Amino acid sequence: MQSELDTMESAALAEIAASADLRELDTLRVTLLGKAGTVTVALKSLGTLKPEVRRERGAAINALRDRLTLAIAARRNALETDILKARLAAERIDVSLPARPAPQGSIHPISRTLEELTALFGAMGFVVHDGPDIENDWYNFGALNIPAHHPARAMMDTFYLKSSGHARPMVLRTHTSPLQIRTMLEETPPIRIIVPGRTYRSDHDATHSPMFHQCEGLVIDRAITLGHLKGCLMDFLRAYFERPNLRARFRASYFPFTEPSIEIDIAWNRRTGEIGEGSDWLEILGAGMVHPNVLANCGIDAREFQGFAFGMGVERITMLKHGIPDLRAFYEGDIRWLTHYGSSALTPVALHEGSPR
Ligand code: PHE
């Protein structure tokens, strides 16, 4: 008898172990332990036995049923774990970010400076204007209070274009100042603009290029004074060079289109190249109060509105900030130079948010 139960048990355990999925396992469970299952039937048959035999056999069958129940539960557990593992493998989601692409190219230092100028003056309420590189000589000179035979015209080695039926001689603009005129003719004050752009002079050496960049500034409003000019440009210089204590010198000068005219020098240490302190001076900006004749040429009443203007060389301030020795390298497109002095497109311009210290 006992061995008959043993045979049944080992056969059942083998089948349980071999069941390939939950459905098969459940069918097996019904076959063994269900109402009409083998074990259940064996238990029911106990009634026909003599009491002495019944007790012993009953205990044996109950124990068998418990072991099979446990074995089925363990197998179910294993099958469910397999199913879960398979699902996790199949539904795997890659939540990692791909690596950032290797940087390709860089922002040219001139472009970078133009972005910085826009950000810095933008934060002070200036808007960016632009205009044509080819100007007639009235915008470039005449309206700026530089008459035809004025020596100031000779100061700037001008590229004149061959006459092509224009009423006035055409030039490649020698400065961004024509945009003072264009803006004052088109807009009514208050005016607060900067004009970053290309300019041209017939000049070529380590510090001069026939094409270079300037940034003009113009503010026209009521009761604007030299004090506003000074505050605005000091704020700019300190933020741009990232030197909160930068010292500067405001020196009387001459431009036909400003009165008074000034030039601004920043302190500099000739030996170390350090900007902002030291006992040497570097000229960095031309500026002044807009000349009443210029206001009049633009139909602005000088008794009601005044203003200041300034102009700076973009290459020059870029060279000083980054210690770039030779102007010509800006336009040569040498990859090594661009890699060294260029900046990453992923680094935002944030000078106007205050220096990072
Ligand atoms: N346009 C002048 C130059 O090119 C600079 C300047 C601009 C000076 C505005 C005063 C005011 O040298």
* pLDDT value, residue 2: 63
* pLDDT value, residue 356: 44
Q: How far is the CA of 167 from the centre of ligand 1 (A)?
A: 26
Ranges of residues in the chain with a pLDDT under 70 are 1-2, 103, 152, 155, 352-357
Whether residues 179 and 276 share a domain: the answer is yes
Range of the domain at 265: 107-356
- Check if 199 has its Cβ closer than 6 Å to any atom of ligand 1: no
Whether residues 184 and 38 share a domain: the answer is no
Cβ atoms 94, 325 nearer than 8 A = no
Whether residues 220 and 327 share a domain: the answer is yes
Strands 191-200 and 134-136: unpaired
Close Cβ partners of 324 (under 8 Å, ≥ 6 residues apart): 109, 318, 330, 341
- Check if 307 has its Cβ closer than 6 Å to any atom of ligand 1: no
Close Cβ partners of 329 (under 8 Å, ≥ 6 residues apart): 337
Which ligand 1 atom sits closest to the C-alpha of 180? 9
For residue 264, tell me if it sits in a domain.
yes
The number of C-alpha atoms within 13 Å of 7 and in the hemisphere containing its C-beta is 4
Strands 211-221 and 306-313: antiparallel
For residue 99, tell me if it sits in a domain.
no
Whether residues 281 and 135 share a domain: the answer is yes
For residue 100, tell me if it sits in a domain.
no
- Check if 309 has its Cβ closer than 6 Å to any atom of ligand 1: yes
DSSP letter assigned to residue 163? P
Whether residues 10 and 114 share a domain: the answer is no
Which ligand 1 atom sits closest to the C-alpha of 175? 4
For residue 180, tell me if it sits in a domain.
yes
Q: How far is the CA of 310 from the centre of ligand 1 (A)?
A: 6
Among candidate residues 31, 56, 90, the one where a domain is terminated: 90
Whether residues 288 and 169 share a domain: the answer is yes
Cβ atoms 13, 29 nearer than 8 A = no
- Check if 311 has its Cβ closer than 6 Å to any atom of ligand 1: yes
CA end-to-end span of the chain, whole Å?
91
Whether residues 136 and 64 share a domain: the answer is no
Mutate to test the pocket of ligand 1, among 201, 255, 259 (most ligand atoms within 8 A of CB): 255
Residue 318 has a CB neighbour count (10 Å cut-off) of 23
Total number of domains constituting the chain: 2
Backbone phi, then psi, for 239, in 5-degree steps? Answer: -75, -45
Angle formed by the axes of helices 109-123 and 314-322, to 10°?
Answer: 100
- Check if 200 has its Cβ closer than 6 Å to any atom of ligand 1: no
Whether residues 237 and 348 share a domain: the answer is yes
Whether residues 189 and 250 share a domain: the answer is yes
pTM, two decimal places:
0.71
Q: What is the pLDDT of residues 120-168, one digit of tens each?
A: 999 999 999 999 999 999 999 999 999 888 876 776 789 988 877 778 8
Q: How far is the CA of 214 from the centre of ligand 1 (A)?
A: 9
Residue with tokens 């570097």: 282
For residue 97, tell me if it sits in a domain.
no
Whether residues 111 and 79 share a domain: the answer is no
Cis peptide before 260 (omega within 30 of 0): yes
Our CA angle for 304, 224, 130, nearest 5°, is 95
Among candidate residues 90, 119, 146, the one where a domain is terminated: 90
SS3 33: helix
Task: Please choose, from the candidates 109, 100, 164, the residue with its C-alpha nearest in 3D space to the C-alpha of residue 316.
Answer: 109
Task: Please choose, from the candidates 250, 240, 153, 138, the residue with its C-alpha nearest in 3D space to the C-alpha of residue 196.
Answer: 240
Task: Please choose, from the candidates 154, 204, 145, 199, the residue with its C-alpha nearest in 3D space to the C-alpha of residue 172.
Answer: 199
Residue with tokens 């557990």: 77
Q: Nearest C-alpha to atom 6 of ligand 1 is from which residue?
A: 311
Close Cβ partners of 283 (under 8 Å, ≥ 6 residues apart): 263, 264, 265
Residue 280 has a CB neighbour count (10 Å cut-off) of 12
Rg of the chain, C-alpha, whole Å: 44
Centroid of chain to Cα 110: 17
Among candidate residues 90, 115, 132, the one where a domain is terminated: 90
Q: Domain containing 332 — which CATH number?
A: 3.30.930.10
The number of C-alpha atoms within 13 Å of 102 and in the hemisphere containing its C-beta is 0
Whether residues 212 and 171 share a domain: the answer is yes
Whether residues 155 and 291 share a domain: the answer is yes
Using a pLDDT cut of 90, give the percent of the chain over it: 71
For residue 95, tell me if it sits in a domain.
no
Task: Please choose, from the candidates 79, 72, 76, 74, the residue with its C-alpha nearest in 3D space to the C-alpha of residue 37.
Answer: 72
Which ligand 1 atom sits closest to the C-alpha of 287? 10
For residue 277, tell me if it sits in a domain.
yes
For residue 163, tell me if it sits in a domain.
yes
- Check if 236 has its Cβ closer than 6 Å to any atom of ligand 1: no
